[in-house]
Each structure stands twice: as structure tokens, then as C-alpha cells.
Amino acid sequence: MDTAVEWLGECKINNPLKHVDWVENSDRVLYNVSAVAFQECIQKGQTPVSFSKAGPKRKIYFDLNKLKCAIVTCGGLCPGLNNVIRSIVLTLYYTYGVTNILGIRYGLQGFVPDYGHPIMELTPDLVREINELGGTILSSSRGHQEMGDIVDALQRMNIGLLFAVGGDGTFRAAAKICKEIANRGSRIGVVGIPKTIDNDILFLSRSFGFSTAVSCASDIIGCAHVEANGAPNGIGLVKLMGRQSGFIAANAALDRRYANFVLIPEADFDLDGAHGFLAVLEKRIQEKKHAVIVVAEGAGQRYCGVEGFDNSGNKVLGDIGLYLKDRITDYFMEKGIEVNLKYIDPSYTIRSVKATSEDSLFCGFLAQNAVHVGLAGMTNIMVGSWNEAFVCVPLGLVTTGRKQVDLKGKLWSSVLDATGQPNFKAPGD
């Protein structure tokens, strides 16, 4: 695994910061902190895999008096986007004295003149209270744009450092932007800040917005529990975000432990048959007279999946929530059992709220470290948290896959313990 970081060039300018703990270029954070794994590497004569540690450097690459920076937010909304924008601007302005900061409107579309999106000048006064708002003051968009057009715009605006806030699709685009910049022989830095409410980015302990999403989702599961207990044979069905990973569903279900069934993309399940989900649900209703079901949006796609991809290159999902609602209703109707099912889909509500205090603090640290390493000339990287530290991960490494719930790990085993649910598969499957 290649974790080497790209640099724009030699850093020759003294960092103006005072009274800080410098992070040396040789400072590393182990990928695997297990003592057993470390010893195995040593015994085999291998160097343990590690990431470059993020933080303020003694020397920086850019002349701060001449530097112009830009920030762009891409993809779907997520709690904490405004917190990140605010922290980048305040760190650049007050910590380093960089006063020329531009906000690119509506994602990567903002670089393309044909769209006509105006550029926003970002100042401390403008961003002072945006952390109280959900969403992003820069707005966002999805979809491919020509890399040549984007780099043309960066050069035309004399941008030296770009902060790209987004998820997997944004980072794939950012890596291509870096390649086009290198092909032109330019010296423009690109630093990614990971934004995915699903918490599914590789080599990242957690992403901002995830904690807020879990907190909101937990409250909604509590509401579904109240609804399920408020009527004979009540069923509360909650669909949560999670295209390929069930982290929100699993963690929210564990928070208050009201959920009786949790369905996630990583764990396949049968609907029909003696061991299928519907039969197990029927048994639950007969015995307890109520049930709460939490399903991640990417679960069960073999039942409701559709063809095609969206503008970000993600596979279009079928609506598993509505599908389950109809299947459950039809199943109990055929059985002659009356149920009272309440279906809740809070996805757009959750992603639009302002960040919790925990997420707000995390956004601040992410943004500060992104500024530190960006000014030092690191490029084509994501700044994220790993093993209780902030690290720099090459974008090419980040985009090799998606992080998923380990079905043999502690998180999922805790969910199974809390719900008591089986695997909904016939023995031997």
C-alpha cells in the first residue's frame, strides 16, 4: 500500500506561526496499531504501513502575501459543511494572514463559465455565524465536468490552493484535477476534506456529519418505537441513509436499542421462506404485538434494484423502504393479520440539519489541518482522522473502494445482540 504524499516542491519559507508543536515530515501514524501486527512486520523485515501526520510544518511552500485560495463543496448535503468552510476561512485569515479566499458556487459547475455561477468572496465577517446553519453557503452539485475547464478556471483566477470538500466522487474528480495540473506543469495544490454522511470513506476513522446523523436517526427510531407501541400490532419502519454501508443504521439502532430488526447493505437477507425476514417479523408481532425495523437505503437491492447510474457515477438505488412497506402490508393481509404500519423516511431532514457540538469541533480540526498541510505544499491528498490522529492520505488510495460494516466485527455483533435478530437465511445458505 503506497501512502507516499505528493509535494508541489521544496518548502523554503519559514512558517509564521508561534508557540506551536511542529509536525515534522518524518512524523507518521501507524495504519495498524496492533502490537501483534507490528511485530509480524518487523519479523518479516517489512516496514509497517503508516500515514504522514497532518499539522503545522516549520517550512511552508506558498508566499502567504501572494496566495489566493478557493473552497468548493460537492455532492449531497451533510451536517458540518458550513463549519468546515468557516474554519478554513478563519484559519487562513487569522492564523496565516491569507486574505484572498474565494468560494466556488454549486460544486464543480462553478468553475465552468457556461453555467454562469458567480464567485463568492469569503471573509471572516461573511462566515462568522454560518456554523448555525445547515447545508452549505456555497451550495453544491453532482455530476462530471471537464477537467480542462476546471484547471483553466484555476489558472485564470490565479488560484494557488484548492480545498475540495466532498466524498468518493469528489475525490476521484480531485485526483483527475491534480493529474491535469501536473500535465500542464502548474503548481496548484489540491487538498480534499472528507464529507460523507454514510461514513464510508476508506482509511478514515469517521467523517464529519456522521455523528450528527446518528443522533438525529436515533431520535427518529425513538419516534417509530412510540408509534409501534401506540397501536395493535404496530410496526415502525424507518429508512436511513447508507448506500453501500450500514454505519448510520447500525449505530443509531444501538444508541437507544429500540430497533428489533436492522437491515444493511453488507448483510444479505431472504424475505420469504421459513427463515426469511417476513416469517421472523410475523413471529415477533404474534409474541410482542409491535416491532421497529431500521433499513439502510442500500439494503435489499436484489429485490427492488433498478438499472443505471446517477450524475455522480453512483448506481441508482431502488426504494427499499417503500418496497418493504408494501411487501409487509401484503404479507400480513394475506395472512389475515391486521397490522398498523408507520413508514418514516427522514433522509433529507437529517442531512440538512446543523452539526452537533461534537461534529462542529471535529470539522474545525479537519479544516485547520487541511490548511496546515496545504500551505506546506502537500497536494493530491485527503486530510482525515486515523487512530486518534489527523493524517494525510493520497487521493488515489482513498478512491480504491468503500468502507463497510464488518459482519464479524464488534459493531455488527453488538447490533445482533441488541436486536436478537437471526441472519434471515436458510441454514446452509
The C-alpha cell that represents 392 in the structure block: 494525510
Surface-to-core class of residue 156, CB atoms within 10 Å of its CB (0-12 exposed, 13-18 middle, 19+ buried): exposed
Q: Residue 29: phi, psi to the nearest 5?
A: -125, 125
Decide if 89 contacts 127 (C-beta within 8 A).
yes
In this structure, the answer to whether residues 152 and 252 fall within a common structural domain is: no
186 part of a folded domain: yes
376 part of a folded domain: yes
Torsion angle (degrees, nearest 10) of CA 157, 163, 166, 168: 100
Element (H, E) at 386: strand 381-386
Task: Look at residues 419, 386, 399 and name the one whose alpha carbon lies nearest to residue 267.
Answer: 419
User: How many helices (DSSP H) and strands (DSSP E) are in the chain?
Assistant: 14, 17
Which three-class secondary structure state does DSSP give residue 51? strand
In this structure, the answer to whether residues 20 and 78 fall within a common structural domain is: yes
199 part of a folded domain: yes
CA dist 109 to 124, 145, 301, Å? Answer: 25, 7, 31
CA dist 145 to 70, 81, 151, 264, 393, Å? Answer: 17, 22, 11, 32, 24
The confidence score (pLDDT) of residue 45 equals: 75
263 part of a folded domain: yes
Which of the following is catalytic: 63, 125, 152, 198?
Answer: 198
Which residue stretches of the chain have pLDDT < 70?
Answer: 35-38, 310-313, 426, 428-429
Structural domain count of the chain: 2
The confidence score (pLDDT) of residue 311 equals: 66
Decide if 165 contacts 195 (C-beta within 8 A).
yes
Q: Residue 22's domain spans which residues?
A: 6-207+355-398
110 part of a folded domain: yes
425 part of a folded domain: no
127: left (phi over 0), alpha (psi -120 to 50) or beta: alpha
Grid cell 485560495 in the structure block, residue:
69
The confidence score (pLDDT) of residue 34 equals: 74
CA dist 323 to 51, 295, 302, 307, 407, Å? Answer: 43, 11, 11, 16, 24
pLDDT tens for 309-330 read 766 667 789 999 999 999 999 9
The confidence score (pLDDT) of residue 429 equals: 65
Element (H, E) at 313: none
Instruction: Give this prediction's pTM.
Output: 0.93
In this structure, the answer to whether residues 86 and 72 fall within a common structural domain is: yes
The confidence score (pLDDT) of residue 225 equals: 97
* Distance separating alpha carbons of residues 95 and 160, to the nearest angstrom: 18
* CATH number of the domain encompassing residue 340: 3.40.50.460
In this structure, the answer to whether residues 12 and 39 fall within a common structural domain is: yes
In this structure, the answer to whether residues 12 and 127 fall within a common structural domain is: yes
In this structure, the answer to whether residues 112 and 171 fall within a common structural domain is: yes
Q: Residue 262: phi, psi to the nearest 5?
A: -130, 120
* CATH number of the domain encompassing residue 98: 3.40.50.450
217 part of a folded domain: yes
Q: Cα–chain-centroid distance for residue 76?
A: 10
428 part of a folded domain: no
Cβ atoms < 10 Å from Cβ of 401? 13
In this structure, the answer to whether residues 203 and 74 fall within a common structural domain is: yes
The confidence score (pLDDT) of residue 48 equals: 86
Surface-to-core class of residue 345, CB atoms within 10 Å of its CB (0-12 exposed, 13-18 middle, 19+ buried): middle
Task: Please say if 198 is a catalytic residue.
Answer: yes
The confidence score (pLDDT) of residue 305 equals: 75
